Structure 1
Amino acid sequence: MSQSLASKQDVIFQTSQLDGKIYIREQKGDFQRIRRYLSWVLVSGFMLLPWVQYHGQQGILFNVPEQKLTLFDITLFPQDMFIFSLIFILAAFLLFYITRLYGRVWCGYTCPQTIWMLMFNWVERRVEGSFRQSQALDNAPLGTSKVIKKAVKHSIWLAISFLTALVFMSYFVPVSQLYSSVFTFQASTIVLGWVFFFTACTYINGGWIKEKMCLHICPYARFQSVMFSNTTTLITYDNTRGENRGPRKLKAQKATDMGDCVDCGLCVDVCPVGIDIRQGLQYECINCGLCADACNDVMRKFNYPRYLIKYAPKQESKRRWSAHLGYGVASLLCLCFIVQWAFSRDEFDVSIIRDRQALYRVNTQGKVENTFVLKIINKTQQTRGYLLKIEHDENLIIQGTPEYVVSPTEQAMTYVTVVARHAPSAQKIPIHFAILDQKSHEVIQKSSSFFSPTDAW
């Protein structure tokens, strides 16, 4: 490769940086094959999961109006928010753990921003041609060809964004209602508003903001470096082997004072965030491996050993087990707490509080009665029967039938009247309720107070 060609590439790269737009060159390779497979799996799962039916209803659904989350056989209510805290803590520790071991591979391989950004770039390459043709098109005067290509590209981007928004909303609105109501223009204003909002967000993020999200907006890029150590596996340029770098002809003999780097600039052309990995570790690097695949192609053409740019730690450690301390132990503890919560979770939830309308009441028979508000939440997917009784006090009885039937994942609210057979000996006495699930025989106990008039008043 000649010096003039290398200089020309530098000029084009610098021009693209001045314009504020990074033109990403497409690249194939071992690492990109892994990334594409992961992208296909994640995007397919994202799109298909809302269509999975379970017991005649959508398997995964965030029902915002009813404040419940259905996950196949499990229904979570606001009372179960503790598990969400544990899950988010676990996800954070796992992210930190992976970052400690392998740097920002989450950003490079599985982050939705990266997946959609490269998806939009794939569309741009199909419509406008190579990244150099795309640069030339942007610099060309306005004409029919330019207008058509730009219109086609942005139309496809908007279509992808609209589909993404619909899929995302299908986690909150049943798919049996969402698609038919949207395409027949019968969806509510709220649903349409959210669909258009997420369409705009996807279009702007994937098509316009792109790498700026990783560089300037995402907080992870700013604090991830504090989790690195000398043993963290990162994309690294082998400076000893590569320098002195310089252009050369393909079949020419390498000079003794030259390194393996041919200074082709392809590692910069393929970088989604526009950095030169040969300048050392930079916080912008998302560890996607594109530069390594590009460099491997060049090394193969020149018949040089591969992996001039590779995943490698700054130094090898003999105490490999120590890398799993800290974040690894914290992740394991969070996972244990989640498992323990799953096994100890109640299949129903109960609240019983005094009616605020009256402290007590004397009925026509002269007996004192108190009224309580009983709420039972059935967290299972089956209809359940529940039995309410009073423990440790034979003087207090429940008026009427203390049996209640609650539909799957529903909440039942009723008023319970408790009557004292004989005059209570105190103004305020404790009362203990027990609610029995007649199928699982699980019992939940609640306590309150029974009030009555006494001579002490």
Structure 2
Amino acid sequence: MSERIPVKDVTPVKVHQPDSSNQSIRYSSNNRIYVRSVSGPLETFRRYFGFIFLGLFALLPWISYNNQQAILFDLAEQRFNLFALTLWPQDLTLLAYIFIVAAFALFFVTTFAGRVWCGFMCPQTTWTYMFTWIEEKVEGSRHQRMALDQRPLDTDKFVRKTFKHLLWVLLALLTALTFVGYFTPIAALFTNFFTFNTGFWTTTWVIFFAACTYGNAGWMREIMCTHICPYARFQSVMFDKDTLTVAYDVSRGERRGPRPRKIPHSELASKGLGDCIDCNLCVQVCPTGIDIRNGLQYECINCGACVDACNGVMEKMNYPKGLIRFSSEAQLQGGTTKILRPKLVGYAFVLVVMLGILIANFLLRSSLEVDIIRDRNSLYRETNDGLIENVYTIKILNKSQQRRQYHIDIEGLPDYRFTGEQQISVKGGEIFSIPVSIATDAYNLNAPVTEIHFKVSTQTEEGDMVTVLEPTNFLYR
């Protein structure tokens, strides 16, 4: 019992992470992550994929539909225009269903392919890459940027830094203007902003979002992903052994170490070497500064930059590609990846169900909404000719974007007299209020409270009739 059991320290040591031993310089320019540019199929796909969504973001608010901005979230008027569709506060359930569908779509994709949302579609990642691209074009490659930050301030450094930040501010400002343009008419916004004619709150929001973009993509970068974004924290509950993630093949890569290129791949095993040459390129291209060789880490955003970097090295060394690749834990352990599994099928089932409910709500959604408000000053009154009269206010909401004609009738009350307009015209997206009175002989009333219905009908542009029956009460005694 005197023999000690040998213990091996397997605590992962992350390479190229900020040094937390000195908090005063933790986020200084000399301790930041310098991302190296990389080329490859995944990087090319990510760039073009990002350009598509970036183009949609920039162009959508400029598209017109029916002589108005096609996509406009008008908070002041409390309506959202989405081409031919107008959503009102009464359509809040539709917005809730949209968010539920988006959430389960994200859960499904994450269970299947890991954090590809973070690596390929997240706005933080997209704008960070754009800011990094500007930085690289102005200040040079990774090594040149590191050398520039270590130099004392001189004319060249001042000019480069100033020009970089001016471009950052310009990009952030254009981003903020475009984003605010989804909530206010964008053409007028750009004109008024650059002529200093915007209102206080509009200017405040533009400056606020510009400052957020500049700070998040220019300075915070990976801190947003590793410390602020909650998605990185709860993503692990959606992972399983069959989830595809960016992974390092330990059995093939170890023992890592440098070696001359002339050693053929077939002789590596006899020399006790794996395929990894310990070049650290996978670390240098990582936007969050992690070493993927330490295993799965919550900081990894599945962007695939390390995959392209490693494949490039393997190609130069005449080694097989795929030392770092999109793979599952089961596959790395020698098994096979199961596509159909309970968790993935469950997410897919719920996604399809919620998508069906969302589509059904859209299809069954009426373009007309009616609200009846009784006159609260008197329950009823008797007219000069002996009739019992109730007074109402009818509110008609035209949810379409075209002017429509509406006809008002009463059901459930025999031999009534209608005082007020029965044929009205309401503009698209307008709430029209009209006071009316309904009178009838007391002999037609069998109870103090009689339920009646206001029938409001209209004809759509396609020729379909839309009718709404809104119940209310006719009071007597």
Counterpart of 1:320 (choices 318, 339, 348) is 339
- Does the 8 A contact of 1:16 with 1:23 survive in 2? no
Please tell me the residue identity of whatever aligns with 2:193.
V
Please give the secondary structure, in 1, of the residue aligned with 2:340.
helix
- Distance in 2, Cα, partners of 1:205 & 1:429: 62
Q: TM-score, normalised by structure 2?
A: 0.89
> Which residue of structure 1 lines up, in the alignment, with residue 39 of structure 2?
28
Counterpart of 2:78 (choices 67, 70, 73) is 67
Task: Summarize the Cα distance change of 1:125–1:219 in structure 2 as closer, same or farther, 3 Å threshold.
Answer: same
Give the deviation of 1:15 after TM superposition: 7.0
> Which residue of structure 1 lines up, in the alignment, with residue 467 of structure 2?
443
Query: 1:96-133 deviations in whole A, cap 9, x for unaligned?
Result: 00000000000000100000011101111111111122
Worse overlay, 285-294 or 441-450 = 441-450
Please tell me the residue identity of whatever aligns with 2:394.
L
Counterpart of 2:450 (choices 426, 429, 436) is 429
Please give the secondary structure, in 2, of the residue aligned with 1:341.
helix
1:191 aligns with 2:202: yes
Worse overlay, 154-163 or 409-418 = 409-418
Task: Summarize the Cα distance change of 1:66–1:106 in structure 2 as closer, same or farther, 3 Å threshold.
Answer: same
1:344 aligns with 2:364: yes
Alignment of 1:6-45 (within 5 A): 13=16, 19=28, 20-45=31-56
- Distance in 2, Cα, partners of 1:69 & 1:14: 44
Alignment of 1:133-152 (within 5 A): 133-152=144-163
Give the deviation of 1:318 after TM superposition: 6.9
Alignment of 1:214-229 (within 5 A): 214-229=225-240
1:404 aligns with 2:424: yes
Give the deviation of 1:270 after TM superposition: 0.5
Query: 1:314-369 deviations in whole A, cap 9, x for unaligned?
Result: 11557532264111111111111111112111011111121223222233333221
- Distance in 2, Cα, partners of 1:11 & 1:173: 46
Alignment of 1:44-83 (within 5 A): 44-83=55-94
Give the deviation of 1:76 after TM superposition: 0.9
- Distance in 1, Cα, partners of 2:156 & 2:337: 60
> Which residue of structure 1 lines up, in the alignment, with residue 279 of structure 2?
264
Worse overlay, 410-419 or 351-360 = 351-360
Please tell me the residue identity of whatever aligns with 1:25.
R
Please tell me the residue identity of whatever aligns with 1:436.
S
Please tell me the residue identity of whatever aligns with 1:380.
S
- Distance in 2, Cα, partners of 1:129 & 1:265: 20
Query: 1:66-112 deviations in whole A, cap 9, x for unaligned?
Result: 11111111111111111101000000000000000000000000100
Worse overlay, 373-382 or 426-435 = 426-435
Please give the secondary structure, in 2, of the residue aligned with 1:320.
coil
Worse overlay, 339-348 or 392-401 = 392-401
Count residues with an aligned counterpart.
444
Task: Summarize the Cα distance change of 1:382–1:311 in structure 2 as closer, same or farther, 3 Å threshold.
Answer: same
- Distance in 1, Cα, partners of 2:310 & 2:88: 52
1:363 aligns with 2:387: no
> Which residue of structure 1 lines up, in the alignment, with residue 304 of structure 2?
289
Give the deviation of 1:416 after TM superposition: 1.6
- Does the 8 A contact of 1:390 with 1:397 survive in 2? no
- Does the 8 A contact of 1:32 with 1:290 survive in 2? yes
Give the deviation of 1:175 after TM superposition: 2.1
Q: TM-score, normalised by structure 1?
A: 0.93
Give the deviation of 1:151 after TM superposition: 0.6
1:116 aligns with 2:116: no
Task: Summarize the Cα distance change of 1:12–1:394 in structure 2 as closer, same or farther, 3 Å threshold.
Answer: closer
Give the deviation of 1:189 after TM superposition: 1.1
Please tell me the residue identity of whatever aligns with 1:452.
Y
Please give the secondary structure, in 2, of the residue aligned with 1:325.
helix
> Which residue of structure 1 lines up, in the alignment, with residue 9 of structure 2?
none
Please tell me the residue identity of whatever aligns with 1:270.
V
Give the deviation of 1:180 after TM superposition: 0.9
- Does the 8 A contact of 1:434 with 1:446 survive in 2? yes
Structure 1 residue runs of 5 or longer lacking an equivalent are: 1-9
- Distance in 2, Cα, partners of 1:98 & 1:160: 30
| Percent of residue pairs identical | 43
Please tell me the residue identity of whatever aligns with 1:276.
D
- Distance in 1, Cα, partners of 2:303 & 2:456: 55
1:309 aligns with 2:320: no
Please give the secondary structure, in 2, of the residue aligned with 1:244.
coil
Query: 1:176-232 deviations in whole A, cap 9, x for unaligned?
Result: 311111111111111111110110010011001111111011110000011001110
Task: Summarize the Cα distance change of 1:15–1:421 in structure 2 as closer, same or farther, 3 Å threshold.
Answer: closer
> Which residue of structure 2 lines up, in the alignment, with residue 239 of structure 1?
250
- Distance in 2, Cα, partners of 1:178 & 1:76: 23
- Distance in 2, Cα, partners of 1:387 & 1:287: 58
Cα RMSD of the aligned pairs, angstroms, is 1.9
